[in-house]
Amino acid sequence: MTSKLTLNLGFRYDLFRPTVNKKNQISWWDPIVANPTHGIPGSLVYASPARRNPVETDARDFGPRIGLAYSVNDKTVVRAGYGILYTAGSAYRCLCSFAQEGFSASNPLLSDLTYTGLVGYLAGTPSSDPSYHMTLATGWPDFAFQRPPFIDPSFDDGKGPMSFGGFPGDGNNPNIQNWSFNIQRQLAGDVVLDIAYVGTKGTHLSSRLMNSNVLPTAYLTDPDLQFVATNGSIGHYMFNNISEPAIQALSVVQVMPLSMGTVNGVPTMIHQPFPTFQSLWGGGATLGQALRPFPMYGNDSIQNNGQMEDQGEQVGVSTYHALQVQGRKRFAQGLSFLASYTWSKTLSDAESLFSEFSGFTQDFYNRRGEKALSLNDYPHNLVVSYQYELPMGKGKKFVNNGGVADKILGGWIVAGVHQYQSGPPQMIGAGSNPYWPYAGAKSFVNRPNVVPGVEKKSNFILNDTWDPNGIPIHTDGSACTTANPCDLTNAVDPGGRYNYGAWYNPGNSTTSEKWTHGNAPRTDAAIRNFHYYNEDFSIIKRTNITERINIEFRADFLNIFNRTLFAWDQGGDQYGQIIGGNLFGSGAIGGFGHLNLQSNFPREIQFGLKINY
C-alpha cells in the first residue's frame, strides 16, 4: 500500500463431502428418527440413495485471511494477522467397521475335542447342530446362522449402537481462528528479536460432551428416587426393577404408559417406557434403564467402552493465548543460534481429533464443568539451539595455515538443542462410579471432591524427597505387614506425589452425597506432572580432502546429562494419565500418585561418518 505498509488479503472456501459407501452398506443410530417398533425416538438407520450419510454437508466454510506489516524504521517491523482455517469433522471420515450394524455377522464355532488330531477335520461344532463337523470338503456351515444383511430399525435394541453424525449440529466442520501481533527488531551482532502475542480459538471441535443415552443428572439427586437402606445409608432406586410396587408408585414412573408386563411372573399391567421394555431387558429392566433418554438402548456395545457414543459430535471448544519471544542470530563469525520462549495457557473441553480421546466427561448435562486446562497445556517452554565453529584452522583466527595443524585442529564444530518445558496438568479420578451403568462416562472415572485449603502435593514432593520406588511405611519407619498393616492414620507413602487428604470420594459416602458428582476439576494445575528437561549435544569434525570433498565425523550425545523423566503408568495418552496412579479410589494408602516408568530414553551416544562432495 505504501513503502512502509504492506497489506495481504486472502479468502479460502472449503467444501468437504462426507464419506459414503459405494453400496450404501452402512448404518448408524439416529436419535431423532422414530423407532417403528416402540413408537419413540431412537432408531437404527440404514443408508439409502436418499440419505447415504448421517450428516448434511456443511457448505458454510468461508475462511478469510488478513495480514499486514508496517516498517517503523529500517530495524523495526510490526506485523499482525488473522485467519480462519477449516478441516473435515469426525462424521466426514471413514465410518469403517463401526458402521456395519446389520451388515456383518459372525458364525461362532464351539470348542470341540472329539476329532482332535483327525486329518481333514477342523475343531469346532456349530451350537445349532452338534452332529455337524466342518471339514475342508463340506466348508463353512452357513446353515447355522442367518446371513446378513438385517435391515431392521430395531436390530440393535437391547444393545448400544453408535451414531456417526445423527445428532443436530454434527455436520459442522471444526474451525480454528488464529490471530497474532508481532514486533521484530534487529539488534547488534546480527541478532533479530521477535516478541509476539498469539491467540487461537477452536470451535466445533470433535468432542464427547453431549448426552447420548445417560440418565439425566437431576434424577441422581432427586430425593424421591432415594431411600434409606437397612444399614442406614442412602440408596437409590435406579437399580431396582421397574415392576416392583415401590418403583411403580414413583411419580416419574406413573407418567409412563401402561402396558402388559409381569410382576413376580404374573402377567400384570405396569407402567413402562414402551410395551416390550420389560421383555427386552429382562432382569436389566430397571428404573435407571427406563429413565434413559432412549430406554431401548444401553451402554456402548460396539467397543464396550462406556456410554453410547456419537462419534460425529462437534461441539468442543478451545482457546490458546501465548507470549512468544524469539531471538536468533544469523550465521556469522562461526556462530548461529535460535532461542525461543513461550508463556502460554490452553483451555479446552475437547482434547483430540478423535472423540474417543476427547475427555472423560463426568456430567453430560453440564458442559461447563468439562472446560479446563488442556492436557496439552505447558505454560513455559524454552528451546535453545546453537552451532559454533571453533576459530581454528585455515581461514580462521587461530592456526590460520594449512598442513597437519589444519587437519587436526581445524574444522571442529559444537552444536546442541536444549529444551525445558513445564509439565502438563493432571487428572484425578475417583476410581469408582456408584451410578454405573446409567451415568458417568465409564465405571471408574468420576471425580472426587476437593477438600478446600489443603495442599494437594505430598510432603515428599514439597521437600524433594520423593522416591519413585517408594512404598508405604509406618510413620516410625517400620515396614507394613499383614499383622501390622498400613493405613492413612499410621503410615506415609514416599512414592506418592499427592496428599491423600486433599480429596475424598463422594461415592464412599453413606449419605445422599453419594449420588452427587465430585467437584474436582477435569484437570488440575496444582498437581502438574514433572517438568521436561532434555539436552542433546554434538561434536563434529570436518576434514577437507580437496576443495570439493570433505569427510565429516560426528558424535551425538542424546540426553547428555542422562536425565530421568518419570512417566504415567499406562502409556502416556489420556487414558494413561488418569488410570496410571491418578485414581483416588477408596483412599487406601499405596498406589495413588505413583509413577514408576520412564518417559524418555537414557543417554544415547551415536557416531556417524560421511563423505560430502
**161 — alpha (psi -120 to 50), left (phi > 0) or beta?**
beta
342: which 3 cell numbers?
513461550
The pLDDT of residue 119 is 38
Of 334, 328, 327, 326, the residue nearest 387 (C-alpha): 334
The pLDDT of residue 195 is 98
Of 37, 38, 36, 437, the residue nearest 273 (C-alpha): 38
Find all residues with CB under 8 Å of 471, minimum gap 6, and list them: 480, 493, 494, 495, 590
The pLDDT of residue 441 is 81
The one-letter code for the residue type at 532 is: Y
- C-beta atoms surrounding 579 within 10 Å: 19
For 347, list phi and psi in degrees, rounded to 5.
-115, 145
For the entire predicted model, the pTM comes to 0.88
Could you give the CA distance from residue 82 to residue 508 in angstroms, rounded to a whole number? 50
pLDDT digits over 113-153, tens only? 444 443 333 444 444 455 555 555 555 555 555 678 888 99
Beta pairing partners, 310? 163
Could you give the CA distance from residue 82 to residue 68 in angstroms, rounded to a whole number? 9
Count of alpha carbons within 13 angstroms of residue 545, beta-carbon side: 9
Q: CA-based angle 586:591:597, to the nearest 5?
A: 150
Could you give the CA distance from residue 595 to residue 466 in angstroms, rounded to a whole number? 11
Segments in the chain below pLDDT 50: 110-128, 569-572
- For residue 148, say if its preceding peptide bond is cis, omega within 30 degrees of 0: no
Domain boundaries, the chain: 217-290
pLDDT digits over 198-255, tens only? 999 999 999 989 888 999 999 999 999 999 999 999 999 999 999 999 999 999 999 9
The pLDDT of residue 116 is 46
Indicate if the alpha-carbon torsion angle 511, 512, 513, 515 is positive or negative.
positive
The pLDDT of residue 339 is 97
The pLDDT of residue 296 is 96
Q: CA-based angle 528:532:534, to the nearest 5?
A: 170
Cβ 242 vs Cβ 278: under 8 Å: yes
The pLDDT of residue 590 is 84
